[in-house]
Amino acid sequence: MKEILIASRNKGKIREYRQILTPLGYHVSSLIDYPDFPDIPETGTTFTDNAMIKAQAVAKHFSIDCLADDSGLEVMALNGKPGVLSQRYSKAGTELANNQKLIDELRGQSDRRARYICVIVYYNTKIGFTIFEDTVSGQIIDMPKGDNGFGYDPYFYMPKWNMTMAEANPDFKNTISHRGKAIKKLLSWLSQAKS
């Protein structure tokens, strides 16, 4: 079985990786399995910067190939915020507080366009960084809908599919989401790299 270490403790994110990678023969571990490993400061100014910082730090510590991603929500009317601060947008930093701050800041705004972006960095101890990126477009609604997903998903409405990200079942979400599409690019690269 192939091993992939995810440089994250985000349970929702790790669950999505497992849903996609486990059926393909990967054993997915994460930093949850290594509670003594210190948190990695995300000091980058872009999603790519942060993913590279995490992937390199974890790969060098464990001396194995590592996958890290940084992802978040960009809202047009808020000049791209919350952006790289998506997980730490509010003072409390909880999903509830982050969503409440987002809705408060959009009050009275007619432009609700937004996108999720995901940058995945695969760090190979021999060749270094390989980067995969994708997005999904939508708009922010005022009232949450759906019980699936995490983060801003209940407020992220996708007109193309007439549902929020949190209303999508996990299998469908993994085909349309920013992370799902970026992982697909990663898997295509991995299959070519090993052929």
Residue 72's beta-bridge partner residues?
117
Spatial separation of the C-alpha atoms in residues 69 and 133, rounded to whole Å? 9
124 — phi, psi (to 5°)?
-100, 130
- 3-state SS class at 42: coil
Task: Give the number of other Cβ atoms within 10 Å of residue 27's Cβ.
Answer: 12
Q: Which of 65, 69, 70, 153 does the annotation list as catalytic?
A: 70
Distance CA 2, CA 111 (A): 45
DSSP structure class, residue 36:
T
Please give the radius of gyration of the chain, using alpha carbons only, rounded to the nearest integer. Answer: 17
Residue appearing with tokens 């999603």: 47
Would you call 70 a catalytic residue per the annotation?
Answer: yes
Diameter of the chain measured on Cα atoms: 54
Catalytic residue annotation: 70
